[in-house]
Amino acid sequence: MPPHGKNEVGSPLLNATAGAIAAAIEISIDYPTEYTKTVMQLYPEVNKRGLINCVKDTVKKNGFFGLYRGYSALLVFGVPKNYVRFLTFTYFRQNIFKAQSRINTFLCGMTAGCMEALLVVTPMETIKVKLIHDKFREKPIFRNLFHGIYSICKQEGFSGIYKGVLATVLKQSSNQAIRFLVFEDTQKQLNKFIPWKFLADFLAGGFAGFVSVMANNPIDVVKTNMQGLEAKKFNGFIGCFIYIWKKEKFFGFYKGVTPRLMRVMLDVSLTFSIWNLARRILLFFVGNH
């Protein structure tokens, strides 16, 4: 993404629209990796059996579409999540952190991640995790997405869908700060050797996703456990962190890292490449009217 003004990158609303389009496509393609990652983080016994067995067991028990449990929650919230992310990033880049620098890119990404966490991601992740967790009960309670939301709010109040908000803010702000920075740096280098913009964006996005996962997977594991059905046994973010450390030590914070790497690398690759492609198309039509 060019780091300059509005005329080169489009308005915040245009970037937000392109981001929403990218989200719908990306989520539909790679949701099974998100499902697998979440299950492996919630259940140590599943994590020990590994990624392949997790997928096999799910398909055997619930069919292929069992890998899409919780998909509706991610799709319903995923589109506005990307909308908020790219709207915030572009607005702050054009109006607040305007000087071209790596620190400003980092700050714009961090702000975008914080805003998406507060407005969209926390309820989205809480509902998704609870829907997946519920699936492993002997007698699942939630019939669908909307029944799940209704049941959670009825039992726990509106705050029930805002579990793990601190962990989510930490995760998303660090995610987007790292991803935007690494993506732009990598993209600049790849553009020197790769003439196809979509491919350069795709590869740069994959590397940005890899770096962000390895940097903050411990936060993601804590967040997932705090948003599960057994969250009450943890005494806040620090308490959950200590619990995992005592029970599983260092590697407990990297449960589900393989499927998360698969999902996030594909997620970020698709998101940035489709976003830039959609943005260029929208700019073309806007510029011709």
Considering 53-62, 100-109, 158-167, 260-269, the range whose residues carry the highest mean pLDDT is 100-109
Report yes or no on 179 lying in a domain: yes
Report yes or no on 86 lying in a domain: yes
Quote the pTM value.
Answer: 0.76
Which one is predicted more confidently, 210 or 284? Answer: 210
Per residue in 180-192, pLDDT (tens digit) is 999 999 999 999 9
pLDDT of residue 245: 86
Report yes or no on 187 lying in a domain: yes
Report yes or no on 19 lying in a domain: yes
pLDDT of residue 182: 97
Report yes or no on 31 lying in a domain: yes
Report yes or no on 1 lying in a domain: no
Residue type, 228: G
Per residue in 120-169, pLDDT (tens digit) is 888 877 777 777 778 777 788 887 777 878 888 888 777 777 777 887 89
Domain count, the chain: 1
Rounded to 10°, the helix 236-248/197-226 angle is 90
- The residue segments making up the domain with residue 133 are 6-287
Report yes or no on 244 lying in a domain: yes
Residue 156 phi, psi dihedral angles, 5° rounding: -120, 0
Report yes or no on 171 lying in a domain: yes
What is the band of 3 on the pLDDT scale with cuts at 50, 70, 90?
very low
Per residue in 184-223, pLDDT (tens digit) is 999 999 999 999 999 999 999 999 999 999 988 888 888 7
CA torsion, ordered 240, 243, 248, 253, to nearest 10 deg: 20
Q: Residue 175 maps to which CATH number? A: 1.50.40.10
| 3-class secondary structure per residue, the chain | CCCCCHHHHCCHHHHHHHHHHHHHHHHHHHHHHHHHHHHHHHCHHHHHHCHHHHHHHHHHHHCHHHHHCCHHHHHHHHHHHHHHHHHHHHHHHHHCCCCCCHHHHHHHHHHHHHHHHHHHHHHHHHHHHHHHHHHCCCCCCCCCHHHHHHHHHHHHCHHHHCCCHHHHHHHHHHHHHHHHHHHHHHHHHHCCCCCCHHHHHHHHHHHHHHHHHHHHHHHHHHHHHHCCCCHHHCCHHHHHHHHHHHHHCHHHHHCCHHHHHHHHHHHHHHHHHHHHHHHHHHHHHHHCC
